[in-house]
Chains A and B, each alone.
Chain A
Amino acid sequence: MNGAQELLRRLVGPPGDDAGCEGTLGVLDQYVEHEVAGRPAATLFPDVARHLAACPDCGQDRDALADLVHGR
């Protein structure tokens, strides 16, 4: 990926359907349990994966929940 394409990716976000913040929060527990178990969460919930890549706040919340679940 060259510099222009990297800049574009950061500014316009990933293409495709996006679950939104509420849709993501609704299944974030399932998403994280799949991730922690090594299952393909992004394949099971593609619109959530796109949202987590595009929404910095929800992405941080995913990391926080994963840290809690992983350390349980």
Chain B
Amino acid sequence: MPAAELVRPIKPCNAVAMTVDPADSLDPESRAWLDALRSDGPGHARAVVDLFDLLHRAARHEAQRRRGSLPARVVEDMDDIARQAANDAVVVVLRKIDTYRGASRFTTWAYKFVIFEVSAALRREIWRGRAVTMDDVEWERLADDTGATPQARVEIRELLGAIERAVAVDMTARQRDIFVAVVVHNVPIDVLADRLDSTRGAIYKALHDARRQLRSSLEAQGLGPRAGEGEIS
């Protein structure tokens, strides 16, 4: 799934950081990449080859970093996966080159596309041939109450019961399937997107909506997170 096919964001990104005009802030290396890749001359073809080499090294680096968690059959295919990811990322970078604003180094900007491609490909390969489970939930296994006080165990059991009811009753079928697969069975979103002929962004949107529904259902029963709990700042 090329990065460009992700769906629209749930909310526009409210970056506090200042945007940067590329004309007055590019470092020399980024400027050289941009000029070469935008040129019509003989340097363009060389720059595309150099870009592929850069992204291929990055893809191989990422595959190698994950090697310990990859099945043997995927390790055998790592080089092919990295090469294909680099090829796909080159296409995306060239298509998006006019959107590069110099807010980061060019190489960092380009790396994110190859990381997206190689990560998604590795996830799909890891899960190739494995069934994706969307039911058979043993809710009590979600919480480890080892060492919890009797009172805490009662609270956890009560919460799990409310969660099970909310998932069964208040979520749509699609929300329920995606929530159970991702949150309960730890199926990667990219894998689910592949199986459901969808995109990472669309699957995440459904997961986000499912979580919001769950939060609302639990809050209605006085079981929601405490104020400030889980906030990120």
Q: Which residue numbers of A lie inside 8 Å of B, CB to CB?
A: 1-5, 7-30, 32-34, 42-50, 53-58, 60-61, 64-65, 67-69, 71-72
* Cβ-defined partner of B200 (8 Å) among A4, A21, A53: A21
Inter-chain pairs besides A12-B214, A44-B16, A57-B120, 20 sampled, C-beta below 8 Å: A2-B155, A7-B142, A7-B156, A7-B160, A13-B211, A18-B11, A19-B13, A25-B6, A32-B104, A46-B14, A46-B232, A47-B14, A49-B232, A49-B233, A54-B208, A56-B182, A57-B204, A65-B108, A67-B61, A68-B58
Interface residue B231 (Cβ < 8 Å from any Cβ of A)? yes
Determine the distance from Cα of A27 to Cα of B208 in the docked complex, in whole angstroms: 20
Q: Which B residues between 111 and 170 are near A, CB-CB below 8 angstroms?
A: 111-112, 115-116, 119-120, 123, 142-145, 148, 152, 155-156, 159-160, 163
A contact face: mostly helix, strand, loop, or mixed: helix
A9: which B residues are within 8 A, CB to CB?
225, 229-230
Determine the distance from Cα of A33 to Cα of B7 in the docked complex, in whole angstroms: 25
- Interface size class, chain B: 35 or more
Give 30 CB contacts A-B under 8 Å. A3-B152, A3-B155, A3-B156, A8-B224, A8-B230, A9-B225, A11-B163, A13-B208, A13-B211, A14-B231, A15-B215, A20-B9, A20-B10, A21-B200, A21-B201, A22-B9, A23-B11, A23-B13, A24-B9, A24-B13, A27-B15, A46-B232, A47-B13, A50-B232, A54-B208, A56-B189, A64-B119, A65-B112, A68-B58, A71-B61
Contacts A20-B205, A23-B13, A55-B204: A46 and B233 contacting too (C-beta < 8 A)? Answer: yes
* Cβ-defined partner of B108 (8 Å) among A32, A53, A71: A32
By the criterion CB–CB under 8 Å, are A68 and B115 in contact? yes
Residue of A nearest to B219 (CB): A12
Interface residue B103 (Cβ < 8 Å from any Cβ of A)? yes
Residue of A nearest to B18 (CB): A44
Contacts A8-B159, A12-B211, A25-B3: A20 and B17 contacting too (C-beta < 8 A)? Answer: no
> Distance in Å from the Cβ of B1 to the closest Cβ of chain A?
11
Determine the distance from Cα of A1 to Cα of B148 in the docked complex, in whole angstroms: 12
* In the A-B complex, the 9 residue pairs with the closest CB atoms: A23-B9, A20-B9, A20-B10, A23-B13, A29-B104, A9-B230, A21-B201, A22-B6, A12-B215
Interface residue B95 (Cβ < 8 Å from any Cβ of A)? no
By the criterion CB–CB under 8 Å, are A42 and B232 in contact? yes
By the criterion CB–CB under 8 Å, are A12 and B225 in contact? yes
